[in-house]
Amino acid sequence: MKTSSSIYKIGGYLLVLICLNHVAFAQKSDSFQLLLNMDAVYNRPFLQAGSFPVAIGGYIEAQGEYFVSDGITEGVSFKIPRMTLFVSSTITERIKFLSEIEFEEGTKEINIEFAALDFEFHPLLNFRGGIIMNPIGAFNQNHDGPRWEFVDRPISATTIIPATFSNVGFGLHGKTYQKQWVWAYEAYVTNGFNDRIVANSEGRTWLPATKENVDRFEENFNAVPLITLKTAIRHRKIGEIGLSWMGDVYNKYEEDGLMLDQKRRLDVLAIDFNTSAIKNLDITGEWVWAFVDVPATYSQQFGSQQQGGFIDFVYTVLKREMFGWENARINLALRLEHVDYNVGSFEETGGNIHDDVQAIVPALSFRPSSQTVIRANYRHIWETDLLGNPAAKTAGFQIGISSYF
C-alpha cells in the first residue's frame, strides 16, 4: 500500500463521515472554553481531605499489544508505560506548588517531570520556578494518558519534541480574556540540550537523547540557557492555536577557558491547534520543525532539519448512560502521523534523504467518565530508512486503559 494514497483515502473517508453528521457549534461550559493547553498542568483531578493543604492525584496507563513487523512478531506483550503521581498545594493565596513524578515501565525510569512554584502577581504576570515543562507544542504540557484516545503517544511529539521534556529554570506566564477570546503567553529560561542529540545510538539527530544526561537537573550542559516562548489564542466557539519556539546552543564549545568547537544552535518551532467547533468532533494537531547546526564534516545521517506532526480526529458516536455510568461516551478516533527526521538531500547524488515515518491509527474508545478511558487501536507504521529503500512495515493492535485517580 502506498502510504500517501492511504492517508488521502482516510482523509476522504473522514470528510464523508463528518458530512454524515450535521455541523453545529458545540456547546461547552464557559470554564472549559477558557482553558488552554498551558493550563493542562493544573487542570487535573486532585483529592483533598478537608482543610489539609496538600492535594494528591495521579494517573496510570496500562496496555497490551500485538505487532507484526514485515512478517515477524514478538508476540503478545503487556506493559505499564507510566504511572504518575501529582502533589499540589496552595501555599497561600496566589502561591501554588505542583509536582508530577512519573514511574515509567515499572521503575525503569523515575522522573520528576514537573515541580514548580507559581506566584501570581497579576493574571497577566505569574512567576514560575522549578522543574518546568517547556511549553513547546501542545502535547508536551498536555500529555496525560487519560486525555487521549490512542494507546501510544504521537511520534513527532516524543521523538522531535522529546515529550515529556522538562528542565530546571524560571519564567513568566499570563493569560487574559476579552469577550470570546482568550490569550496567553509563557516565557522561560531553563537548562537545555546537550551534544547527545547528534551523538547517540539512534544514528540520527535525536532530541530525546538529551534526556540521557543525568546531570541536566543539576547544571546546564554549557553556558547558554534554553529559551522557550509560547503564545496561544483561543476563540471560545472555534478553538485554540498556539505558536511556540525554543532555542539553545547544544554543544560544549568551551571548557576551562579552552575553545573546543564553535557554538552550535538548536531551534525548535511548533504550531498546535485544537477545535471542537464541529458537533461531536474534536480535532487536535501539532506540527514541529527542528533546526540543528550539525557540523558539515559530520555524517549526513544526522539531519540538520527535522519536521513532523500529527492530527487527531475524535468523534463521539454515543454519549448517554451506559452500564450505569452517566455521560459515558464511545468515541471513534483517527490519528494521522508523519515525521521526517532528515530533511535534505545527499551531497553525493542530490537525491532525497529519507529517514521518515508515517502512521495511521484508527481507534475506538469507551469513556465511563471523562477521567477514565478504555481504548483500542490498530496502528500501521511505515518506516523508510535514510536511503529510501522499501519501507519497513509494522502493524498491530493495542488495547489500553488509562485513568486519573
Partner 1 sequence: MINIKIKVLPVICFMAAIIYSCDEVFPEAPAENELLDGPIGALSFSEQNRFLAGDVAFNDEIFTPESGLGPMFVATSCGSCHPGDGKGHPFTTLTRFGQTSPGQSTDFPAGAPQLQNRAIPGFEPEKLTLGTPFMKFTPPAVTGLGLLAALTDEQILKNADPDDVDGDGISGIPNYIDPPDYFQPKWFHQAVNAQFIGRFGKKAAAIDLLQQTATAYNQDMGVTSTFEPLDVATDLSVDPEVSDQTIREVVFYLSTLKAPIQRDPETYNVIQGQQIFTDINCGSCHIPSWTTPESDIPALSNKTFHPYTDLLLHDMGPELDDGATEGSAETYEWRTPPLWGLGLSPDSQGGEFFLMHDGRAKSIEEAILMHGGEANDSRGSFEQLSDIDKQKLLTFLKSL
CA distance 308 to 337: 8
Given 393, 399, 401, 405, the residue binding partner 1 (CB under 8 A): 393
Burial degree of 401 (CB within 10 A; 0-12, 13-18, 19+): middle
Per CB under 8 A, which of residues 120..149 are in contact with partner 1?
none
464511545: which residue's cell? 330
Helix or strand (DSSP H, E) at 248? strand 239-249
Per CB under 8 A, which of residues 17..36 are in contact with partner 1?
17, 20-21
Across 249-277, b (16+ Cβ under 10 Å) vs e yields bbbebeeeeeeeeeebebebbbbbbbbbb
Q: Where are the beta strands (DSSP E) in 53-165?
A: 54-69, 72-92, 95-104, 109-122, 125-133
Taking CB under 8 A as the rule, which mask of x and - marks residues 284-303 in contact with partner 1? Answer: -----------x-xxxxx--
Which span (4-12, 88-96, 115-123, 239-247) binds partner 1, by CB under 8 A? 4-12
Q: What is the DSSP letter of 193?
A: -
Q: What is the DSSP letter of 18?
A: H
Which span (53-61, 122-130, 335-343, 390-398) binds partner 1, by CB under 8 A? 390-398
Phi, psi of 388 (to 5 degrees): 85, 25
Cα–Cα nearest to 113, from 164, 58, 57: 164
- Residue 394 lies near partner 1 (rule: CB under 8 A): yes
Nearer to partner 1, 114 or 150 (CB): 150
- Residue 314 lies near partner 1 (rule: CB under 8 A): no
Nearer to partner 1, 251 or 402 (CB): 251
CB contact at 8 A, 190 and 228:
yes
Other residues' Cβ atoms within 10 Å of the Cβ of residue 321: 9
- Residue 76 lies near partner 1 (rule: CB under 8 A): no
Sign of torsion over alpha carbons 338, 342, 346, 350: positive
- Residue 49 lies near partner 1 (rule: CB under 8 A): no
Which span (3-11, 31-39, 115-123, 239-247) binds partner 1, by CB under 8 A? 3-11
Min dist. Cβ of residue 314 to partner 1 (A) = 13
Given 29, 30, 49, 71, the residue binding partner 1 (CB under 8 A): 71
Min dist. Cβ of residue 216 to partner 1 (A) = 16
Which span (24-32, 118-126, 217-225, 354-362) binds partner 1, by CB under 8 A? 354-362
CA distance 323 to 225: 53
- Residue 334 lies near partner 1 (rule: CB under 8 A): yes
CA distance 139 to 45: 18
CA distance 366 to 384: 34
CB contact at 8 A, 314 and 336:
no
Please count the residues of the chain.
405
Given 51, 122, 201, 323, the residue binding partner 1 (CB under 8 A): 201
C-alpha cell read off for 311:
492530527
Nearer to partner 1, 88 or 251 (CB): 251
- Residue 345 lies near partner 1 (rule: CB under 8 A): no
Per CB under 8 A, which of residues 254..283 are in contact with partner 1?
260-261, 264
Given 25, 42, 346, 370, the residue binding partner 1 (CB under 8 A): 346
Which span (136-144, 213-221, 335-343, 349-357) binds partner 1, by CB under 8 A? 349-357
CB contact at 8 A, 164 and 102:
yes
Nearer to partner 1, 289 or 382 (CB): 382
CA distance 367 to 404: 12
Which span (11-19, 28-36, 40-48, 145-153) binds partner 1, by CB under 8 A? 11-19
Estimate the share of the chain in helix, then strand, then coil, as percent rounded to the nearest 5: 10, 55, 35
Given 53, 106, 123, 351, the residue binding partner 1 (CB under 8 A): 351
Nearer to partner 1, 26 or 112 (CB): 26
Nearer to partner 1, 29 or 349 (CB): 349
Instruction: Name the residues that contact partner 1, by CB under 8 A.
Output: 1, 6, 9-10, 13-14, 16-17, 20-21, 68-73, 195, 198-203, 251, 260-261, 264, 295, 297-301, 317-318, 332, 334, 346, 348-349, 351, 354, 360, 362, 378, 380, 385-390, 393-396
